[in-house]
Amino acid sequence: MEIDLSPKLPKKLALEKNGFALPQYCDSAKVAYVLQGNGVVGIVLPEKEEKILPVKKGDAIALPFGVVTWWYNKEDTEFVVLFLGDTSKAHKRGEFTSFYLNGSNGIFTGFSTEFVGRAWDLEESIVKTLVGKQSGKGIVKLSGVNLPEPKKEHRDGMTLNCEEAPLDVDIKNGGRVVVLNTKNLPLVGEVGLGADLVRLDGSAMCSPGFSCDSALQVTYIVRGSGRVQVVGVDGKRALETTIKAGNLFIVPRYFVVSKIADPDGLEWFSIITTPNPIFTHLAGSIGCWKALSPQVLQAAFNVDADTEKLFRSKRTADAIFFPPPK
């Protein structure tokens, strides 16, 4: 089954034991992120051989335009996959559309028996049998069918486990980040999307910041809860809300976002509409305000020198993530 997380944007695939998502391709490039369980995904890139990957919680898979995929769960635990992508060029703007190769709503059943017979060099009786057997739609439950076994070596270059990858940022009592880009998963270059997994410790804060390369962010809350504020044009607060697991929100281009975790912490997975995102942080030791000269800050804030010095003296050691106040 596919479940809308927010109107016409991301999709979630949830497969129970022996659930099989039929071969399909999508009208949008996207990144898949495994939220729960273990499963198998078959991937066929244009004019390439099939790759059959074992995937598990924390795996991110870049799926370019035109890639054909199928998904299967042979375990007792439900297998749940989140899909986030850029739908600006989609068949229906703002919405993923899947084109199934098989099933009652598949491409195969849309052509006449004459066209199918000619294309695959089959007799009409065989064509009618093939079409007549396709009663399932999108997802079917398999029984007595042995699908190909996944190969660990097929994971190379196709997926990255964000929970096991080396950390790009690690702040004690603050948070940790793994960034998905062309260095650790080159295929995101074809997708045109970067991604990151961020874990914010209990009551910690993520510095206000923005994407300085004209990218927008789509963020899904994986675990925990907290608060988020987004500030946009004319210094107006575009969003202020409480967030929890299962929520999703968008940060438009150049808008500034900041989050504060509740005591149980906060974890989110985001896609960014560029394969190698660059962010500017406003607060902390690497904040852009620290780079401005004292005279400029004093004039810009319209304050005296003592107030400017106090402002500059704070957050000299903390970068990106700020531990909770003592």
Predicted local confidence at residue 9, as pLDDT: 52
Q: What is each CA distance from 9 to 80, 94, 173, 241, in whole angstroms?
A: 17, 6, 33, 20
Residue-wise burial string across 22-56, b where 16 or more C-beta atoms lie within 10 A, e elsewhere:
bbbbbbbbbbbbbbebbbbbbbbbeeeeebbbbbb
CA-closest candidate to residue 242, choices 264, 267, 261: 261
Predicted local confidence at residue 286, as pLDDT: 85
Q: What letter represents residue 133's amino acid?
A: K
Q: What letter represents residue 52's amino acid?
A: I
Predicted local confidence at residue 6, as pLDDT: 36
Token representation of residue 313: 């003296």
Residues belonging to the chain:
326
Q: How far apart are CA 114 and CA 70, in angstroms?
A: 27
Q: How far apart are CA 237 and CA 227, in angstroms?
A: 14
Full pLDDT tens readout for the chain, 326 residues: 233 333 335 689 999 999 999 999 999 999 999 999 999 999 999 889 999 999 999 999 999 988 999 999 999 999 999 999 988 888 888 788 999 999 999 998 999 999 999 999 999 999 999 988 988 899 999 998 999 999 999 999 999 999 999 999 999 999 999 999 999 999 999 999 999 999 999 999 999 999 988 788 999 999 999 999 999 999 999 999 999 999 999 999 999 999 999 999 999 999 999 999 888 989 988 888 888 999 999 999 999 999 999 998 988 888 899 999 88
